[in-house]
């Protein structure tokens, strides 16, 4: 359906009342902006309320979206009367052509090449390289779509370290992308654990979409394990809190990879895990760090 975009400018004190009136009169959406934005009179603010113009703004530009065919002159006159504005000129009316919004959003998420043989491909795209290891994954509510540096670091590390047949633990699995990637790279079995039930459900659905079998569980339901490979893409402080448990879950001689760590946090995390692991590898991407090491034999 085509739309009409209406632009008005009003004193800040009238903006909220006028916005409410426009919505009551049929506006599909209303957006408030500083009318002086982009000029020397702009007043940059942080955490601006969604519907209430800042009292420091002198004037507010209102952008309202209406169905095609709406009588905008009548609507603006009625809204102006409700807001106590006797004279309210219309700055601009522009048609907004109909388009496929789903397709427009999907175009923002192209396939991502992680390494020479590893791709992340949304379901609406064909794999660019059918001979590669392709992870079929759509952006969703659970963290881990491959676009964030911490996820890319873990995927590259798995690509370099999975030899075949390993038992992998993905702690803080999010979308399940790391456990799924490990299996598609040749791991023998994988367990993903997350405190968020929505992440567990998303991981199960993503595993089915990629035709791999993995267990995804909440922490209380997860069995004790001694994995060959442990990956945990969380954040520095939770990683340090979980360090004893992650060490216990890694077999002697097994490997661990930790991500979600900012560069200036790396030494603190390394020191924390060094009582169990020989931490001998560091990867970095856009200020984020992955630390990796090998579990020492237990005393």
* pLDDT tens, per residue, the chain with 299 residues: 578 899 999 888 888 899 999 999 999 989 988 887 766 665 554 333 333 444 467 889 999 999 888 999 999 999 999 888 877 888 889 888 766 555 656 666 788 899 999 999 998 889 999 999 999 998 765 556 667 899 999 999 999 999 999 999 999 999 999 999 999 999 999 999 999 999 999 999 999 999 999 999 999 999 999 999 999 999 999 999 999 999 999 999 999 999 999 999 999 999 999 999 999 989 999 999 999 999 998 75
- CATH number (domain holding residue 74): 3.30.70
- CATH number (domain holding residue 177): 3.40.50.150
Report if residue 213 sits inside a domain: yes
The count of domains in the chain is 2
Report if residue 40 sits inside a domain: yes
Report if residue 280 sits inside a domain: yes
Can you tell me the distance from the alpha carbon of 176 to that of 172, in angstroms, rounded to the nearest whole number?
Answer: 9
The side-by-side arrangement of strands in the sheet containing 288-295 is: 215-217, 189-193, 167-171, 227-233, 250-262, 288-295, 277-285
Chosen domain end from 98, 115, 135: 98
Report if residue 121 sits inside a domain: no
Report if residue 219 sits inside a domain: yes
90 and 204 co-located in one domain: no
**Residue 228: which domain range?**
149-295
Report if residue 71 sits inside a domain: yes
91 and 166 co-located in one domain: no
91 and 162 co-located in one domain: no
Chosen domain end from 69, 98, 127: 98
67 and 161 co-located in one domain: no
182 and 274 co-located in one domain: yes
Asked if 237 and 230 touch (Cβ cutoff 8 Å), the reply is no
171 and 60 co-located in one domain: no
Report if residue 33 sits inside a domain: yes
Report if residue 111 sits inside a domain: no
């Amino acid at each position: 359906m085509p739309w009409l975009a209406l632009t008005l400018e009003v004193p800040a004190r009238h903006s909220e009342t006028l916005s409410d009136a426009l919505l009551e009169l049929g506006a599909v959406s209303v957006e408030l902006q500083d009318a002086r934005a982009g000029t020397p009179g702009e007043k940059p603010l942080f955490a601006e309320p969604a519907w209430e113009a800042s009292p420091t703004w002198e004037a507010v530009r209102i952008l309202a979206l209406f169905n095609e065919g709406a009588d905008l002159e009548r609507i603006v006159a009625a809204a102006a009367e409700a807001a106590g504005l006797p004279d309210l000129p219309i700055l601009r009316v522009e048609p907004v052509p109909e388009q496929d919004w789903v397709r427009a959003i999907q175009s923002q998420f192209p396939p991502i090449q992680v390494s020479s043989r590893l791709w992340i491909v949304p379901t609406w795209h064909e794999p660019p390289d059918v001979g590669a290891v392709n992870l079929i994954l759509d952006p969703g509510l659970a963290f881990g779509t491959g676009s964030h540096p911490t996820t890319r670091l873990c995927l590259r590390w798995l690509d370099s370290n999975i030899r075949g047949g390993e038992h992998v633990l993905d702690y803080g699995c999010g979308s399940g992308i790391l456990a799924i990637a490990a299996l598609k790279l040749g791991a023998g079995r994988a367990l993903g654990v997350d405190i968020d039930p929505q992440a567990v459900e998303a991981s199960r659905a993503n595993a089915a979409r990629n035709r791999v079998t993995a267990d995804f569980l909440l922490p209380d339901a997860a069995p004790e394990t001694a994995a060959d490979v442990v990956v945990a893409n969380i954040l520095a402080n939770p990683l340090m809190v979980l360090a004893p448990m992650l060490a216990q879950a890694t077999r002697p001689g097994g490997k661990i990879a930790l991500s979600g760590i900012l560069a200036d946090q790396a030494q603190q995390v390394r020191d924390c895990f060094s009582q169990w692991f020989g931490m001998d590898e560091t990867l970095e991407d856009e200020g984020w760090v992955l630390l990796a090491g090998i579990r020492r034999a237990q005393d």
